[in-house]
Chain A
Amino acid sequence: NAGVTQTPKFQVLKTGQSMTLQCAQDMNHNSMYWYRQDPGMGLRLIYYSASEGTTDKGEVPNGYNVSRLNKREFSLRLESAAPSQTSVYFCANGRGSTDTQYFGPGTRLTVL
């Protein structure tokens, strides 16, 4: 069991380019999350999905869109990347919205 997988591990984009970060879980959990982590800022929630077919904004949703394709997959899209989106992005999941969260290995994104 892989738990939570994220692709890609690293990515460099130019300002204005678009890309989709992929996340998949094999834990059969309902809730999935996208966080970004910047130095000194902790983990900030971008979007979350309490269950298949539902998504909600977190603390910092601007500039991002998400798609909960099915129970296993939750993708994060940057339509027009900006240098301020340079960060480490973590996907996580959990049985419910207040339960233990299991994190993927992260995607390190640099926007030039």
Chain B
Amino acid sequence: GQQVMQIPQYQHVQEGEDFTTYCNSSTTLSNIQWYKQRPGGHPVFLIQLVKSGEVKKQKRLTFQFGEAKKNSSLHITATQTTDVGTYFCAGSSGNTGKLIFGQGTTLQVKP
């Protein structure tokens, strides 16, 4: 069945460094969504990408959807301690009609 894989599982960075998490699907996706979960909290929707090659920005966060619509990335420029948490990608395809979550990347930021 459809699988969505995320790497890395964990990332520790110094405050001010950049951070990137990657999401790869075994099948072509209709859309990709990104969520953030703060420690002790619940996942919160960040953004959705739909078009091949799409790039969207939210302040220091840049989201990309691959040309083949099978991969995506989230890049954070100059991390801050408020960026700490787990970032999940979630993709859906026409075949499954479901949203499948990746395992998440947990980001720790050292001040």
A-B contact count (CB 8 A): 48
A40: which B residues are within 8 A, CB to CB? 9, 103
A100: which B residues are within 8 A, CB to CB? 33, 45, 48
A45: which B residues are within 8 A, CB to CB? 98, 101
Closest chain B CB from A54 CB (angstroms)? 13
Which among A43, A94, A102 has the highest number of chain B CB atoms within 10 Å? A43
Query: Is the CB–CB distance between B43 and A90 below 8 Å?
Result: yes
Query: Is the CB–CB distance between B88 and A98 below 8 Å?
Result: no
Query: Is the CB–CB distance between B88 and A43 below 8 Å?
Result: yes
Q: Which of B30, B48, B88, B99 contacts A42 (CB 8 A)?
A: B88
Chain A 39-53, CB-CB to B under 8 Å as 1, else 0, gives 011110100100000
B35: which A residues are within 8 A, CB to CB? 101
Number of interface residues of B (CB under 8 A): 22
Q: Report Cα–Cα, A103/B110, bound state, in Å.
A: 28
Closest chain A CB from B39 CB (angstroms)? 12
CB neighbors of A among B36-72 (8 A): 41-45, 48
Q: Which of A48, A98, A99, A103 contacts B43 (CB 8 A)?
A: A103
Query: Is the CB–CB distance between B102 and A42 below 8 Å?
Result: yes
A106: which B residues are within 8 A, CB to CB? 42
28 CB < 8 A contacts A-B: A40-B103, A41-B103, A42-B6, A42-B104, A43-B43, A43-B88, A43-B101, A45-B101, A90-B42, A90-B43, A94-B99, A97-B97, A97-B98, A98-B30, A98-B31, A98-B92, A98-B97, A98-B98, A98-B99, A99-B99, A100-B48, A101-B33, A101-B43, A102-B45, A103-B43, A104-B42, A105-B41, A106-B42
The interface of chain B, by Cβ under 8 A from chain A, is: 6, 9, 30-31, 33, 35, 41-45, 48, 88, 90, 92, 97-99, 101-104
Excluding A101-B45, A101-B99, 8 further A-B contacts by CB distance (< 8 Å) are A42-B88, A42-B103, A42-B104, A43-B43, A43-B104, A90-B42, A94-B99, A98-B92
The interface of chain A, by Cβ under 8 A from chain B, is: 40-43, 45, 48, 90, 92, 94, 97-106
